[in-house]
Chain A
């Protein structure tokens, strides 16, 4: 395999309030290959969104800080770039789409103009060229009658069309990597499937690499090539989709899978993992999942398991992994 497109090494996000520092994302490392779709899965608050904001160096608060070894993309180390250099990469190399398309589109600006904005910025296109290109991008994301829709405002679009429009805005900049933060969560189920199909199509047509953040394993199973599971700010398992879904090795991954309604069609009650995720300012000294883990050993309470290569293309952070043959 050639060198990956995006190489993240030990990326951390640290929050500081007056006295203390809390690590919200801890030493996250992963690779993303050309045309690969990586699903980043985890509960709310596990740090998936924050990690991706850190990749863009767009943290939502000035009290947050990024640390890490390196984030390599397109010959640059994003952690070493100054703000101006980072700005040149945003959009062009690293695009992002968001959960709520209604609030992430400027209500006062025509859809076409919002798409053209990135095209003009990154390709130096003229107003007329950018408009033609915007129409083309709208067609690519499946907006009917793009020639007239290009002049619409966001409020004249339906929810699904707004998500398509937001994808078009990101695509207009022609990024190599697209970060999709829960792109289907705000949409109804039929539209969800359409948007996922669109993302797959774009991968095939443009060779676009994607990081798809989701808490919905169904979405991830339909779309991704590989899956990374996060728990309490750390990566606990990362591997190929088929292997991870069929044979999860980390007890947390197994628990997540067992919670999915499709796993238990005849169950009366939905499964859940007992207990709550730990508070990030009061973490257990050992494995973060240990208090909720059925497999826990005394070792788990004492020593934090490091992420290690556990097989070809599979990484795991667990002292007591489930057998590769299936849940024991």
Chain B
């Protein structure tokens, strides 16, 4: 094995630093330019000019913005994202406690999407132009066109309300319970995600089926099943993996709707509530976590592509 091709594994994490610095500046400024004062939101009806002033001083909000940012950076180096204004606890453990549901949601959706997409794409490519292909095209068009909140509601209606098979919303305590709660939200995302994947994978399967090396393999007597497994699918899946990585990046920050719909206590919900209550520290922290996750997903995709395609050499 040519280990030199994996050298980027050591260098890539360093590239995360400038990305995080940029993200932190942008969110820091943006979140503070939303109209509304966190102290006023926090105090609500009890707000007096005195109390507001006290809160602002307590959280350092009365300083100029660049001083606040330097404090933020200094605390960040100590692994401290600041205190949540709303929950009155450190933002870091707060965010950490919310990561699991979101992570499970994303992982489950991606797994489910692959389980749906790969067989469908193979079926569609094999019966190109036939009624199976048309039926699958109908599915992908629907999956791309239907808004996820509507699809989620319909699934709840069908599986939870009508048939009573699965819980309506929330997140359980035991693993079995949690998995039950994850089925519908994962399915909602997976239906849309698999539609994107089916289209892409079907196209690259059709391209590979015509490839010269497949003809050559057929000329040495391989059957259609072996051709698909050994030559067509491995070649066709590489571009789909990169598409999947882009979509996961988008998915991580896009789980907000699904988490709200299914009342999953994940990062997306935390972010939305943080924005509404002007909880600066939480919003900044979540943005940093999401940035890290997106970079990590692309990193994993690069490692996978390098492992699958011996010609790939990432600088």
Chain A residues engaging chain B, CB cutoff 8 angstroms: 56, 58, 60, 87-92, 95-96, 98, 100, 103-109, 114, 117-118, 121-122, 153, 155, 166, 169-170, 172-173
Interface residues of B in 135-163 (CB under 8 A from A): none
9 A-B pairs with C-beta separation under 8 A: A58-B215, A104-B215, A106-B231, A109-B231, A114-B217, A118-B221, A121-B221, A153-B310, A170-B219
In the A-B complex, the 8 residue pairs with the closest CB atoms:
A91-B221, A91-B220, A103-B212, A90-B221, A104-B216, A118-B220, A96-B219, A153-B310
- Cβ of B212 and Cβ of A155 under 8 Å apart? no
Of the candidates A58, A103, A155, the one whose C-beta lies within 8 Å of that of B211 is A103
Beta-carbon nearest neighbor of B218 in chain A? A58
Number of B residues near A (Cβ < 8 Å) is 21
Say whether chain B's binding surface is mostly helix, strand, loop, or mixed. helix
- Cβ of B212 and Cβ of A92 under 8 Å apart? no
Closest-CB distance, B57 to chain A (whole angstroms): 63
**Chain B residues within 8 Å of A169, by CB:** 216, 220
**Chain B residues within 8 Å of A105, by CB:** 213, 216
**Is B37 among interface residues, defined by CB-CB distance under 8 A?**
no
Closest-CB distance, B210 to chain A (whole angstroms): 9
Of the candidates B218, B235, B311, the one whose C-beta lies within 8 Å of that of A155 is B311
- Cβ of A96 and Cβ of B216 under 8 Å apart? yes
Of the candidates A92, A100, A108, A153, the one whose C-beta lies within 8 Å of that of B221 is A92
Chain B 220-254, CB-CB to A under 8 Å as 1, else 0, gives: 11110010001100110000000000000000000
- Cβ of A56 and Cβ of B219 under 8 Å apart? yes
Query: Quick one: given A87-B223, A121-B221, A155-B310, are A108 and B234 in contact (CB under 8 Å)?
Result: yes
Chain B 294-311, CB-CB to A under 8 Å as 1, else 0, gives: 000000000000001111
**Chain A residues within 8 Å of B220, by CB:** 90-91, 95, 117-118, 121, 169-170, 172-173
- Cβ of B310 and Cβ of A58 under 8 Å apart? no
- Cβ of B216 and Cβ of A108 under 8 Å apart? no
**Chain B residues within 8 Å of A108, by CB:** 234-235, 308-310
CA distance in complex: A116, B230 (Å): 13
Closest-CB distance, B248 to chain A (whole angstroms): 23
Closest-CB distance, A193 to chain B (whole angstroms): 24
**Chain A residues within 8 Å of B311, by CB:** 107, 153, 155
- Cβ of B231 and Cβ of A122 under 8 Å apart? no
**Chain A residues within 8 Å of B221, by CB:** 87-92, 118, 121-122, 173
Closest-CB distance, A90 to chain B (whole angstroms): 4
- Cβ of A98 and Cβ of B216 under 8 Å apart? yes
CA distance in complex: A17, B230 (Å): 33
Closest-CB distance, B243 to chain A (whole angstroms): 18
